[in-house]
Amino acid sequence: MRLAKYLAQCGISSRREACRLIEAGRITLNGKIAKHTDPVLLDAKGRSLDSICLDADPILGTEALDYWLLNKAVGTDCRLLEGDKSSLLHLLPPTPRLYPVGRLDKDSRGLLLLTNDGELTHKLMHPSFAHSKTYHVKLDRPFTDEFIGQMASGVQYKEVRTLPCQVCRLSEDKFEIVLTQGLNRQIRRMASALGYKVIDLQRIALMTLTLDSLAEGEIRQLTPQEVVTLKASVTTIDYSSD
């Protein structure tokens, strides 16, 4: 098995973040700085026969997979920084190690999935899978129907043109948008390019997951049925060659 995939299965991080850890030289394999191409040798039960460390701390193997949902409040930072009092890290249970699937800006709020399932994280975050995220957005002033059409057809800013998406009006200054892209601060930059400022941005759904009655700032485990439904909704791709 490829090293990054094994690290993701151990709950260390998503597969993409595991690649960054390897590239940064923070992973050692049998006492040597690991490379992306290094394979991990597994026994019949899928346990590593190699000695693998992160920052000199041994990686002991796979963890039981866990899935949590947070209704993030404005002001919570999604970066897992122990020294930052606003960090998401301080809201998480001590074990297992959970990581956010994607991020919400510090000044945004709403649904955030947290898990140690690196494979699911990879499938939900990789742009080629085009999974949906739904947001409610309030602007600084009323907008026109032309604005809705422009947002839906794609907006040009800097060197980027966003993909077509679903947009519908909720009120004179609020709309719902469903994205399948994950560009940095995408909605804020789309609105800004059209002359508006976002004053409230809330993610209300990720694929089959919704906030329902979860209060702002609260966190809960997904039910077994929610996990099954979410995984069933994710496009299945064969990673056996990885």
pLDDT tens for 64-106 read: 789 999 999 999 998 888 888 888 888 888 777 788 888 899 9
pLDDT at residue number 238: 42
pLDDT at residue number 45: 64
One domain for residues 202 and 140 = yes
Residue 174 placed within a domain: yes
One domain for residues 119 and 139 = no
Active-site annotation holder among 50, 105, 173, 200: 105
Say what angle helices 118-125 and 15-23 make with each other, to 10 degrees: 100
Q: Residue 38 in 3-state DSSP?
A: coil
Catalytic site residue 105? Answer: yes
Q: How far apart are CA 128 and CA 143, in angstroms?
A: 32
6 pLDDT higher than 80: yes
One domain for residues 32 and 140 = no
Burial of 238 (0-12, 13-18, 19+ CB in 10 A): exposed
What is the average pLDDT value for the chain, to the nearest integer?
88
Q: What is the domain extent for residue 222?
A: 67-127+208-233
Q: How far apart are CA 169 and CA 125, in angstroms?
A: 27
Q: How far apart are CA 192 and CA 80, in angstroms?
A: 29
Query: Hey, which residues does 202 pair with through a beta bridge?
Result: 109, 136
- Measure the CA dihedral 72/75/81/83, to 10°: -130
Domain harbouring 190, CATH code: 3.30.70.1560
One domain for residues 175 and 197 = yes
Residue 241 placed within a domain: no
Task: Find tokens 């990673």 and name the residue.
Answer: 239
Domain harbouring 30, CATH code: 3.10.290.10
pLDDT at residue number 241: 39
pLDDT at residue number 62: 67
